[in-house]
Amino acid sequence: MIRKWAMRAIIAYLIFGVAIFLYLFYWADTSIPHALKGTSADPATFLNGRELQLSEEYSRIRNFMFFIATPYEWLFYYLILIFGLSAIFENSAKQISKFFLVRNAIYLFWLSLASFVVMFPLSYLSYTISKSYNISTQLFSGWMKDKFIDFWVQYATMFIIITVLYALMRKYKKRWWLAAWVVSIPFSIFMMFIQPVVIDPLYNDFYPLKDKQLEAKILAIAKEANIPANHVYEVDMSTKTNALNAYVTGVGSNSRIVLWDTTLDRLTDEEILFIMAHEMGHYVEKHIYFGIAGYLLLTFVGLWLTAKIMEKWISRRGKDWKVDKITNISSLPAFLLITSILLFLASPLTNWVSRYQETRADTYAIKMTHDKEAGIRTFQSLTKSGLSQVKPPVLVKIFRYGHPTMLERIKMIEDYPLQDAKSEDK
């Protein structure tokens, strides 16, 4: 029976992989609408023939890797359960120690190690592909260092989460999901608070922006928007990537405006100011608070659904998986599997909300800078540096894109009546 279910899962995964491959490489339409041919949104106007070919190739491969990686993780958790490996990990932990915290640490180490080994081939393949298309500039040693840091940061975070989670499961039997949701609120805010000052510096060096004239310009528009910012940070990303980026991270006094050094090297001051105005648009429109509220709502629903599904799974299949009850830590792969699937199913909604907010931020940047040309050049440069598709397939947009497509962003800027933006400022 176990072999039959395992074979079914593997076959389903392979069929899905073939279907996604055919969709991305043969069926999906990524052509530019005829009405936009020759406009600033047409990649043929700012990419040469070789760049056009590379952007299509790289985007298809990257999108394919995304769609096969997520269900690959699901397959891993499912096979860990049905072959009883999760129960073996738990029994091993019990034999070593009788203390709850130590058993959790040992179990999680074995599960994390197994996950790292199984997922490593896909991670390495993604790295080598990015390297071959000259997106990644990172040496293998540096990449492995980041993977090593990832492992231990995720391990430490997961240890705290599962220790609290399973303690709540034992105490609150039927309502553990509600208790977990309540606890997740301060924990999530705490993680957002320490992310910029504790976790991010483990991967990269952050320092105040060296170009003080540019910093003064950025702080000037921040002051105009009533944003309490005293410093702008740059981060050394050129040793890892040729892509461009800028962002605002953290909450409260730990919030930071961050520019990648690749962005500083390749974009003009006007283009950088447009990006910064975009990021300030998120602050002004309080997108971070809407994001927190949405996250808490989705977490509430997600934990409730996870609890219901887990109870049914363990009651029906627990004996086959050698997982006696939901409070056994060996049920963790079921929890991770269910939450991962729910997150994937929710991604069309969360991405849609994110795209709406990004459009609002783009609009704010136009109103703030009155420089449509800088906005258009910025998105053209982002497309070129990241070898992005200007018009990705529909499924890719729905499940991957938290930003509008480059076609949509450039067209929106091009069509935006600048006179309206000027009049709104008066």
Binding site for Zn(2+), residues? 278, 282, 358
Q: What is the C-alpha separation between 147 and 151, in angstroms, rounded?
A: 6
Backbone angles phi, psi at 246, to 5 degrees: -155, 150
Nearest to 364, CA basis, from 282, 272, 267:
282
What the block records as the tokens of 113 is 């190690």
Nearest to 281, CA basis, from 231, 230, 234, 226:
226
Q: What is the C-alpha separation between 30 and 36, in angstroms, rounded?
A: 13
Q: Is 122 left (phi over 0), alpha (psi -120 to 50) or beta?
A: alpha
Residue 260: strand pairing partners: 235
Please enumerate, by residue number, every residue annotated as part of a binding site.
278, 282, 358
State yes or no: is 150 an active-site residue: no
Residue 256: strand pairing partners: 249
What the block records as the tokens of 150 is 């990832």
Beta carbons of 114 and 85 less than 8 angstroms apart: yes
Q: Which of 90, 261, 271, 279 is catalytic?
A: 279
Q: What is the C-alpha separation between 305 and 70, in angstroms, rounded?
A: 20
Which helix (DSSP H) or strand (DSSP E) does residue 103 occupy?
helix 100-132
Residue 89, number of CB atoms within 10 A of its CB: 23
What the block records as the tokens of 86 is 């999760």
Q: What is the C-alpha separation between 63 and 129, in angstroms, rounded?
A: 12
Q: Which of 234, 362, 371, 408 is catalytic?
A: 362
Q: Give, in order, the Cα–Cα distances in Å from 205 to each of 46, 83, 230, 316.
A: 33, 43, 19, 50
Largest CA distance in the chain: 73
Beta carbons of 214 and 234 less than 8 angstroms apart: no
State yes or no: is 408 an active-site residue: no
Q: Give, in order, the Cα–Cα distances in Å from 181 to each of 149, 158, 188, 376.
A: 28, 16, 10, 42
The residue count of the chain comes to 426
Instruction: Give catalytic residue positions.
Output: 279, 362
